[in-house]
Amino acid sequence: MNLSLLILVPLLTAVAVLLGNGLKQIRAIAFIGSLVQLGLAANLLYVFLQSKGAGNTAPMLFEYNASWFAPLHINYHVGVDGISIAMILLTSLIVVAGILVSWSMEKLSKEYFFLLVLLSMGAYGFFISLDLFTLFFFLEIAVIPKFLLIGIWGSGNKTNSAMKLALMLMAGSALVFVGLMGIFYNTHTFDIMEIAKMQIPLQVQLFFFPFAFLGFGIFAALFPFHTWVPDGHASAPTAASMFLAGISMKLGGYGCLRVATYLMPEAAHSYSWIIILLATIAIIYGAFATMMQTDLKYINAYSSISHCGFVILGIGMLTKTSINGAVIQMVSHGLMTALFFAAIGMIYSRTHTRMVAQLGGLLKVMPFIATTFVIAGLCSLGLPGFSGFVAEMTVFMGSWQNADGMYRLATIISAASIVVTAVYILRATGKSIMGPIHQEHEVLLDATWNEKLAAILLITGIVIIGMAPFLITNLIGPSTDNLMLQIGKAITLK
């Protein structure tokens, strides 16, 4: 399959959105575009599995390499493995859902859908890039739409949140850029697959790994650079929150894995105790900070910090199972948090409040939305049958395999955070969904067809992973093996 289609379709959709007229036409264009993209992603999965089934063991499939700036060794090089396909599927699902929940965006609808599609294009390009410069290009493309989406269509203290988010992410990409320069001038190529074959000297790795890892870590809400997350998510319009938590934070996790850890494994090994320390702090701090929140969006945003900590933890532990778990957690958290934000958005658009104290008994008037909310909550606290359980279990099992005593302690502490998660999720759900209903809320209506469709799409993803985890482990397993070949070699060398 030609991977460039994954960039081309959003690009054409964006252009078509600009040419469209009126909300109805524009949302139809955006919706069709995102459906085509979902179809492409499904097709990609199909041909990938077929090719793997036929015994193709190449680390990257469907590669395409064209020179972009030849004198600077910058190529447009794309290719996918199981991990990137998982991320692409996640992205396309969230984009469809995001467009569905923005169905009645009256304010500047053309600009709104244009930016949403542009943001998704950045994410697709990022996940398929095998050239560091191209990857960086797409990483930064995804920043500006977020700034505008939050600043123009957001709520609350929106301009400050937008500015904070944009500047912190830009600082992240500045660090990433320094890391890339270091890699480039020590290998004279931007090609990820080429670099992986080379041995970057340990001194160089030790110097540049922190730049790359911290840079991507800012995107992934790594403690203590997580501060853009709560404000950004809370101020963003619903679809932007979904994109932000569901897609954008995954760019960071994927970058930490594919660029920082994969290309500089020795340094990753040397620094793993710092990574794990930060991840553990994020998990615990995120969980306890969530306990104190009264705004539904803040609850989800802080819990995202905690959940993304698992991704970083899994990567930092450097075992095959833990990295598998990190990838599954990225997908699972993406779907779950997007569902959560969608449900919160639906509740907010009806009740005009997100305060837990001002809500109650919503199950009576809007059973569908309330159920969606509960499912997202249960997935978040890791109930078996949903994807959250699979992901967290895999991370913990993988982390336990790392036999270092302190690392096991970190694993135990992290695992204990699930109890805290259960407390805040059950409390928020109980107070807002159950209990007596507020009088003025009695007349509210349940979800419309588009909102139902969005929720069902995301729930399907969550349940499939939860019920049949072998599907995703089979998809990403061989690719993780490939990564581990590189990482394992580095660890045994030491």
- Footprint of other proteins (CB under 8 A): 67-72, 137-138, 140-141, 143-144, 147-148, 151-152, 158-159, 162-163, 166-167, 170-171, 174-175, 177-178, 181-182, 184-185, 207-208, 211
Q: Which of 281, 283, 142, 259 is nearest to 210 (CA)?
A: 259
Tokens of 431: 């107070």
To the nearest 10°, report the CA torsion of 46, 460, 229, 414. -90
Closest approach, Cβ 33 to other proteins, in A, equals 18
Closest approach, Cβ 163 to other proteins, in A, equals 6
Closest approach, Cβ 216 to other proteins, in A, equals 15
Closer residue to other proteins, CB minimum distance, 48 or 271? 271
Closest approach, Cβ 98 to other proteins, in A, equals 21
Q: Which amino acid is present at 167?
A: L
Closest approach, Cβ 133 to other proteins, in A, equals 8
Residue 106: count of CB within 10 angstroms of its CB: 7
Taking phi over 0 as left and psi of -120 to 50 as alpha, with beta for the rest, 212 belongs to alpha
Backbone phi, psi, residue 76, to 5°: -90, 95
To the nearest 10°, report the CA torsion of 375, 379, 383, 389. 150
What is the distance between the alpha carbons of residues 199 and 220, in angstroms, rounded to a whole number?
27
Closer residue to other proteins, CB minimum distance, 147 or 254? 147
Closer residue to other proteins, CB minimum distance, 174 or 397? 174
Closer residue to other proteins, CB minimum distance, 67 or 474? 67
Backbone phi, psi, residue 339, to 5°: -65, -40
Closest approach, Cβ 248 to other proteins, in A, equals 15
- Which residues, at least 6 apart from 112, have a Cβ–Cβ distance to it below 8 Å? 102, 105, 149, 152, 153, 237
Buried residues in 302-322 as b, exposed as e (16+ CB within 10 A): bbbbbbbbbbbbbbbbbbbbb
Closest approach, Cβ 148 to other proteins, in A, equals 7
What is the distance between the alpha carbons of residues 242 and 244, in angstroms, rounded to a whole number?
5
What is the distance between the alpha carbons of residues 328 and 322, in angstroms, rounded to a whole number?
10
Q: Taking a C-beta distance cutoff of 8 angstroms, is the pair 355, 110 a contact? A: no
Closest approach, Cβ 215 to other proteins, in A, equals 10
Closest approach, Cβ 144 to other proteins, in A, equals 5
What is the distance between the alpha carbons of residues 254 and 62, in angstroms, rounded to a whole number?
19
Closest approach, Cβ 129 to other proteins, in A, equals 13
Closer residue to other proteins, CB minimum distance, 182 or 217? 182
Buried residues in 172-199 as b, exposed as e (16+ CB within 10 A): bbebbbbbbebbbebbebbbbbebbeee
Closer residue to other proteins, CB minimum distance, 186 or 358? 186
Cα Rg for the chain, rounded, in angstroms? 21
Q: Which amino acid is present at 311?
A: V
| E strand or H helix that includes residue 449 | helix 449-467
Closer residue to other proteins, CB minimum distance, 31 or 136? 136
Q: Taking a C-beta distance cutoff of 8 angstroms, is the pair 455, 366 a contact? A: no
Closer residue to other proteins, CB minimum distance, 1 or 152? 152
Closest approach, Cβ 298 to other proteins, in A, equals 22
Closer residue to other proteins, CB minimum distance, 218 or 490? 218
Backbone phi, psi, residue 241, to 5°: -60, -45
Closest approach, Cβ 407 to other proteins, in A, equals 31
Closer residue to other proteins, CB minimum distance, 137 or 368? 137
Closer residue to other proteins, CB minimum distance, 70 or 445? 70
Q: Which of 246, 437, 423 is nearest to 342 (CA)?
A: 246
DSSP state of 81: -
Closer residue to other proteins, CB minimum distance, 130 or 391? 130
